[in-house]
Amino acid sequence: MADLNEYLHFRALAFKFRNDALSAPLLDQVCETGSLAIPSKQVCTTLAQPVVDRMESLLAVLSMSKRQFIEMAILEAMDQAEYVLETHNCTIDGVPV
């Protein structure tokens, strides 16, 4: 029965992310060529080689681009940070975050 449950989750998630999987390579190419019509900005940093190796291994298994993975990770991290700031009633210049 566990196999059925896993398979149903697999199919549901495949359906959920189907459009992302089709559009991600196109968006990656547009970003690389600089012909993106929507406002964008490159975010760069230098990472330790073991971190890069681990990320590239995961991306190969997941069939994801670095851009897609990093964008999702940054959005998730910002959501978590904003939640923690709101939980502790933090403000920036008197404005709630």
Note the pLDDT tens digit of each residue in 62-94: 888 898 899 999 999 999 998 999 899 897 777
Give me the mean pLDDT over the 27-32 stretch: 63
Percent of the chain with pLDDT over 90: 42
- pLDDT bin (cut points 50, 70, 90) of residue 37 is low
**In the chain, beta strands by DSSP E:** 91-92, 95-96
Residue 43 pLDDT: 85
| Cα–Cα dist 31/13, whole Å | 26
Q: Residue 30 burial by CB count (10 A; 0-12/13-18/19+): exposed, middle or buried?
A: middle
Structure tokens given for 66: 């670095």
